[in-house]
Amino acid sequence: MKSHISTTINGDSVEFLCEPSQTLLQVLRNDLGMTGTKEGCGSGDCGACSVIFDGELVCACLVLGVEAQGAAIETVEGVAAHDQLHVIQEKFLEHAALQCGICTPGLIVSTKALLEENPSPTEAEARYFLAGNLCRCTGYDKIIKAVMDAAATMRQGA
Amino acid sequence: MVALTYHAPDSLEEAVQLLSTARQPVKLLSGGTDLIIQMQGLIQDERLVVDVKKIPGMRAADWMEDHLRLGPSMSCAQFTKRQDIQAVFPGLVEAAYLIGSTQVQGRASIGGNLCNASPAADTIPALIVNRAACLIQGLNGTRRVNVEDFLTGVGQQCLASDELLVAIEVPNPAARTRDAYLRFIPRTEMDIAVAGAAVSVTLDDTGVCTNARVAIGAVAPTAILVPSAADALIGTKLEDDALLAAAAASSQAANPISDRRGTVEFRRHVVGVLTKRAAKIAANRVGAL
Ligand code: FES
Ligand code: FES
């Protein structure tokens, strides 16, 4: 039997019907058409599905859709302010920190969570925090450069 | 995934009621980082999922008069950020910090780690050395079970079908007592323990160990308390021969399997080394008080 769920996604109230067996990732992508959040593994290993759930960075594939009742969720679609890219997104572009792009939305969301928690991470702290976001293309170096540059730029802006 | 019915009771009474009247097999949902994967694969038939996170107190951690009352569903991310807990139980916090990625930490809980009862669960040896107990609620009231007795086998604990874990109680440590946890994994981060050891030591003013607890993980069907390793430490100043004796006792107590991550011989050896090193770290922590 489908459950009726009321939640908040990127600040908007959202209602949906879902089976208890659906993950939040399936609901986002298949039912709500929010395909920015990617599925890499579906088993909590790759971080492509990273979203912020009640203030906590989580894998959307490890949350049931029904658990979203009353929650506040932030996805990659909420990172940019309308047409204005977020500094993190600009820095990923500037440093060419992506190739196929499957890992990128997860990394953008995770980097946002990192910099909200720790605006001045060391490179080691950034690598540790982002260790749950796998990238099979870039070798991570450009990603880390983009993250460190975004952190520095955001500190200046603040 | 298998067919599920989902309930998120907001009281303990309602939860126990649901558990005791369920017609299908029940799965208790806490952080879901193990359960959701299991439901995608291993489990084939229908399940009633009871999400325990909305029950008051399940995600809190509060200091009571003589113990820390830990809500089983508090996320590892919340738990490891608690400086007050880190100051008193650094070994328990470091064990929780080793579980999974940042994303997994955002959901995974200590109660879930405990009830999932993996032989390799990182927090379990650290709970055992800290004399933690499980507060269990069922149809006929509550009972307390020490963590080392809570576990009954690989993936198994002693919860009856009408019962759930409502709190983990960790007694305030005695004066000059600290803990430590170490594990071995083949890479630097995000892996499952091949062997793990937690140690808690109490030292007097002259540095003599007056009390100790040693527990080892991933080297037997459940994490186990090793009194012989603790005895090797008690009465000593943790000199090299005492540490070696404790290491030998842990190796002796281990009953591991060989698999692709480690052989029996390797696991036996390494759990001794971890015991020795964790004892030193715990003692240094007492020294720094
Ligand atoms: S799709 Fe969720 S972690 Fe890979
Ligand atoms: S750019 Fe392809 S996975 Fe990272």
Segment B109-139, tens digit of pLDDT: 999 999 999 999 999 999 999 999 999 999 9
Section B174-180 average pLDDT: 98
Alpha-carbon distance of B214 to B228, in angstroms, equals 9
Q: Is A70 in the pocket of ligand 2 (CB under 6 A)?
A: no
Identify all chain A residues contacting B10, using CB atoms and an 8 Å cutoff. none
Q: What is the pLDDT of residue B188?
A: 78
Q: What is the pTM of this model?
A: 0.95
Ligand nearest to the CA of A51: 1
**pLDDT at position B194 over 70:** yes
Q: What is the pLDDT of residue B43?
A: 64
Calculate what percentage of chain B has a pLDDT beyond 70: 99
The minimal CB distance from B189 to the residues A23, A113, A131 is found for A131
Section B247-264 average pLDDT: 95
Q: How many CB atoms lie within 10 A of CB B19?
A: 23
- Alpha helices, H only, A12-140: 24-26, 87-94, 104-117, 123-129
Alpha-carbon distance of B144 to B67, in angstroms, equals 14
Backbone angles phi, psi at A50, to 5 degrees: -60, 130
CATH number of B61-171: 3.30.465.10
CATH number of B177-287: 3.30.390.50
- CATH 3.30.43 intervals, chain B: 3-51
- Residue B6 makes CB contacts below 8 A (sequence gap 6+) with A3, A20, A64, A66, B48, B49, B51
CATH class of B3-51: alpha beta
CATH class of A87-157: mainly alpha
Residue extents of the structural domains in chain A: 3-78, 87-157
Q: What is the pLDDT of residues A100-150, one digit of tens each?
A: 999 999 999 999 999 999 999 999 999 999 999 999 999 999 999 999 999
Mean pLDDT value across chain B: 96
- Residue B175 makes CB contacts below 8 A (sequence gap 6+) with B202
Q: Which two tokens stand for residue A85?
A: 């890219």
Instruction: Kindly tell me the burial class for residue B84, based on how many C-beta atoms sit within 10 Å of its own C-beta (0-12, 13-18, 19 or more).
Output: exposed
Q: Which two tokens stand for residue B117?
A: 């009862």
**pLDDT at position B270 over 70:** yes
Contact B147, B132 (CB under 8 A): yes
* Ligand 1: centre distance to CA A93 (Å): 23
Q: Which fold has domain A3-78?
A: Ubiquitin-like (UB roll) (3.10.20)
* Interface subset of A 50-109, CB within 8 angstroms of B: 50, 53, 56-59, 61-64, 66-67, 69
Amino acid code (one letter) for A103: C
HSE, side-chain direction, 13 A CA sphere, residue A110: 35
- CATH 3.30.465.10 intervals, chain B: 61-171
* A-B contacts (CB, under 8 Å): 90
